[in-house]
Amino acid sequence: MSNSKRKLSADEAMRMFRQMVRIRTFENNANQLYLSAKMPGLTHMYSGEEAVAVGICEALLPTDKITSTHRGHGHCVAKGADFKAMFCELLGKEEGYCRGKGGSMHIADQSNGNLGANAIVGGSMGIATGAALTSKLKKTGDVAVCFFGDGATAQGLMYEVMNMAALWNLPVIYACENNGYSEYTKTEEIAAGSITARAEAFGIESYQVDGQDVIAVNELSQKLVDRARKGEGPFFLELMTYRYHGHHVGDINREYYRAKDEEADWKENRDPIIRMRAWLVENGYATEEALDELHKEVTEDAENAVEYALNAPYPDVSEVDMHVYTDVKHVLA
Amino acid sequence: MRKITLSKAVNEALAEEMRHDESVIILGEDVAEAGTPFKVLSGLVEEFGTDRVIDTPISEPGFMGIGVGAAMTGMRPVVDLMFGDFIFLIMDQLCNQAAKTHYMSGGKLNVPLVLRTNMGATRRSAAQHSQSLHAIVAHIPGLKVAMPSSAYEAKGLLKTAIRDDNPVVIFEDKLMYQDSAEVPEEEYSIPFGEACVKREGTDITLIGTSSMVQVCEKAAEMLQAVGISAEVIDPRTIVPLDEKTLVESAKKTGRVIVVDEGHQSFGVTSEIASRINEKAFYHLDAPTTRMGAMDVPIPFSPALEDITVPTPERVFEQAKKLVSGELIDAA
């Protein structure tokens, strides 16, 4: 773990740990829902990348905006979302964040500044940049963080909006979660040259950071968020991370593109939760027992939320043509 | 009443709404000092400054996406797309993002964005600057589509669009920017989903959109000279569509031609004709007929381009056939 220059308070440290545990626990439950055929469709697991979402979102205020991706549960939890409404959304239930209309790939939680997950790779880059334009024009001081994967660096939209963000000094941070794979293909096969150099070409200050080290991610994010708020943005982060599952939950036999040894190495030696747990104990922030208790609490919380969501009602079928337009109750009526 | 050009009408609508609401901004290529190649926006940057009339690079998906994000967070962007043909460049941001955000979020997020763009052939601009692509947009739930037929409609519909909390796409006919019409000095707006009966008649209904309203009105004059009374209706918005007014007119006259400058197949003419056939069938004396642009890319050569779009003469000929019970010349 990085040797933070700034001493983390016990609250900050424990909160980051708890949020990472919450994401992992959420994903374990989501995976089980898929495997037991209780969840419609499929989903993309964030497990392994927790330090990225948590390190960044813990540097943000609830009014700051994020845009998320198809692998978005981690961002949603890290930005403050509630398990019940999230599981309800995954199961297509009325009490879900989007009344069951979005599902895993479109969860939005505007109350916490989450402008939504996006099922188009790179599709939200304009949205995040636009949110930053609003901040600049309305002088709200909000910062926007655009989460996307290494695969999205192959989309042209990224270059168009980074150009404008740099021209207009927008308070946006582009957070590239480089998990080494663009769906079923190694990143090195789809991305020529350096990823940070792409942003540097626009004059955007860029950093590569260990995405498995939540304290390092958080420390850098704090600095950049503060500077973005002062009008010194945009910034670009490449966070080196790893996804433990396949591209999606159904991508189980994946040795043709990724070796089991490699997966085991990341899980055993670079896991962000194991690393922070050891750090918390070593630095006297918590005892092993307290951390076990935290795990237990989060596990129970997730299990209760899953149970709640499984029993929650689906939306009434009359909702199918609601929310097409803001001003028409039933558009097909 | 004073007469002003369609270009001036659009400019006035924007200026009024920008004075009325500070969150209204304009984003697009050469919108500021240049005022667009059509000079529609001239003078706005002088009044509202470069913070609100924002010149962008030539990055249509980029500035459309930025518009969507700004709209989701409190602005009311009017995104200027220099040519309607460039809609193909922004399809993801328009159709996957702007159109679906309200629905996918279960009604929690809104995208109060206006996309102003244009349509229309016969400007000798060839296949990539002449298309009328409103049907493609109208196909996507979540988007509203307005098609002004004169300066009066252009101003009133744009003001309604800017105040609408949904994404709205306005197609202005680029050949009509210098056409003048009566436009009141005082403020007004035109509600969406209300067709305008431009001319009453009893023998046949001509439904026209955008510049095809003028084509229909000219055809109606020609028809009157041969003793045929034509009703002319302008839907003004195709989403929402004032089906009631169109169907009632069809029931009254028993004959309908739908004229629109989009390609005829799978387009606006087909959609409106279908609805009339479904809802007025037993009142009809002839098949409802479509007249759209030919199903070819718009050619450059004037000799070829002019025959691709409906003209008053062709609408007149088709209407005469329908009224006399002759076999129609349907594509």
Task: Express each pLDDT in B253-300 by its tens digit.
Answer: 999 999 999 999 999 999 999 999 999 999 999 999 999 999 999 999
Find residues 103-122 of chain A whose CB sits inside 8 Å of chain B.
Answer: 106, 108, 110, 115-116, 118, 120
The number of helices, as runs of H, and strands, as runs of E, in chain B is 12, 14
Chain A residues in contact with B92 by the CB 8 A cut-off are 120, 123, 157
Q: Say how far apart CA A302 and CA A108 lie, in whole Å.
A: 19
Q: Which of residues 140-159 of A touch B (CB under 8 A)?
A: 142, 144, 156-157
Domain ranges of chain A: 10-321
- Interior CA angle at A303 toward A44 and A108, to 5°? 45
User: Testing the interface with B: which of A68, A90, A125, A137 to mutate, by most B Cβ within 10 A?
Assistant: A137
Which chain B residues touch A106 with a CB distance below 8 Å? Answer: 104-105
pLDDT of residue B94: 98
pTM of the model: 0.96
Measured between CA atoms, how close is B19 to chain A, in angstroms?
A: 16
Contacts of residue A226, defined as CB under 8 A and 6 or more positions apart, other chains included, come to none
pLDDT band of B149, cuts 50, 70, 90: very high
Look at residue A123 and give its three-state secondary structure.
coil
Q: Which residue, A174, A273, A295, A191, is CA-closest to A228? A: A174
Residue of chain B nearest A321, judged by CA positions: B103
B103 touching chain A per CB within 8 A: yes
From the list A90, A34, A86, A81, the residue with the least C-alpha distance to A53 is: A81
* Residues B24, B71: Cα–Cα separation, whole Å: 10
For A130, the closest of B61, B70, B105 (CB atoms) is B70
pLDDT at position A1 over 90: no
Mean pLDDT across the stretch B26-36? 95
Strands B168-173 and B237-239: unpaired
CA A39/CA A100 separation, integer angstroms: 12
Tokens of A201: 């070409």
Burial class (CB in 10 A: 0-12, 13-18, 19+), A213: buried
- Alpha-carbon span B38 to B118, nearest angstrom: 11
- Per the prediction, chain B carries an average pLDDT of 97
Collapsing DSSP states into helix, strand and coil, what is residue B184?
coil
Residue B51 is nearest to which of A96, A137, A327, comparing CB atoms? A137
Asked whether the beta carbons of B255 and B287 are under 8 A apart, the reply is no
Q: What is the DSSP letter of A151?
A: G
Given an 8 Å threshold on Cβ–Cβ distance, is B57 in contact with A102? no
* Chain B residues lying within 8 Å of A326, measured CB to CB: 102, 107, 110, 165-166
The verdict on A318 touching B (C-beta cutoff 8 Å) is no
Is the Cβ of A129 closer than 8 Å to some Cβ of chain B? yes
**DSSP symbol at B97:** I
Quick one: pLDDT band at residue A8, thresholds 50, 70, 90?
A: confident
Active site residues of B: 60, 129
Mean pLDDT of A19-43: 96
Q: How many CA atoms, within 13 angstroms, populate the side-chain half-sphere of residue A89?
A: 29
Asked if residue A5 has pLDDT above 60, the reply is no
Here the ipTM equals 0.96
| B204 token code pair | 């046949």
Question: A285 to each of A2, A54, A271, A289, how far by Cα in Å?
Answer: 16, 18, 19, 12
Domain boundaries along the sequence of chain B = 3-182, 196-324
Pairing of strands B144-146, B237-239: antiparallel
**B196-324 adopts what CATH topology?**
Rossmann fold (3.40.50)
Structure tokens, A130: 């636009």
Chain B neighbors of A323, CB-CB under 8 A: 102-103, 105-107
Q: What backbone torsions phi and psi does residue B131 show, to the nearest 5 degrees?
A: -80, 160
Interface membership of A280 toward B (CB under 8 Å): no
Contact A130 B96 (CB under 8 A): no
Q: Is B113 on the interface with A (CB under 8 A)?
A: no
Peptide bond before B240: cis, by omega within 30 degrees of 0? Answer: yes
| A272 vs A279: CA distance, rounded Å | 10
Cβ-defined contact of B93 to A100 (cutoff 8 Å) = no
CB contact under 8 A, B102 and A323: yes
Residue among A126, A138, A331 minimizing CB distance to B65: A126
User: What CATH number does the domain located at B3-182 have?
Assistant: 3.40.50.970
d(CA B94, CA B114): 11
pLDDT band (50, 70, 90) for residue B307: very high
Dump pLDDT digits (tens) for A304-328. Answer: 999 999 999 999 999 999 999 999 9
Superfamily (CATH) of domain A10-321: Thiamin diphosphate (ThDP)-binding fold, Pyr/PP domains (3.40.50.970)
Rounded CA gap, B67 and A134, in Å? 9
Cβ–Cβ gap B142/A325 under 8 Å: yes
**Is residue A3 very low, low, confident or very high in pLDDT (cuts 50, 70, 90)?**
low
